[in-house]
Amino acid sequence: MNIQWIVLDVDGVLSDGTLIYTSSGEELKSFSVKDGLGLTAARKAGLKLAIITARISPMVERRAKELHFDALLMGHANKTEALRNLCKEHQINLEEIAYMGDDLNDLGALQIVGLPMAPNNAVPEVKQLAKFISTVNGGHGAVRGAVEYILKKQGLWETVVADYAREAHAHGQ
């Protein structure tokens, strides 16, 4: 396995898929800190990160910025086309992409990547295509589990863990 990029859907993958609106009409989303640490670990190991989502959301933009994503594609209902454009723009081979999606609108993208992935609560059609299915639901650490799976398969996990241990030791923790 030679995964170079992790590409993620948002609702149902990075978030639990719940949409909460305030009385003033603002939208709220929650994100897992476990997913955040996993994505930081992926970056430490040299992987690139991207989001492809049909929705446009300032919260997603903020989260992508916090975690230093390499690409953020919002407002893309056709995720397969968006994924192909990402590949062209960054000269990526589809076989080098791990994509996690949870619902029917992710099927096209999942069919063309090297490592199709799904959270535990993905629809059955997505799970049928997935080569990795998380043991937890989207928004609750599914991405973190996927990152660990990829890094272990590529022989990078122990190095990432050692880096975190070294950082903790260097800071007297």
The helix/strand/coil state of 33 is helix
Strands (E), the chain: 5-8, 20-21, 27-28, 48-53, 71-74, 97-100, 115-118, 132-133
For residues 70 and 82, is the Cβ–Cβ distance under 8 A? no
70 belongs to an annotated ligand binding site: no
Residue 102 labeled ligand binder: yes
Listed residue (130, 104, 13) closest to 63, CA to CA? 13
Check the annotation: does 11 bind a ligand: yes
* CA–CA distance, 124 with 128 (Å, rounded to integer): 6
As annotated, the binding site for Mg(2+) includes 9, 102
**Binding-site annotation: residue ranges:** 9, 11, 102
Binding-site sequence positions for substrate: 11
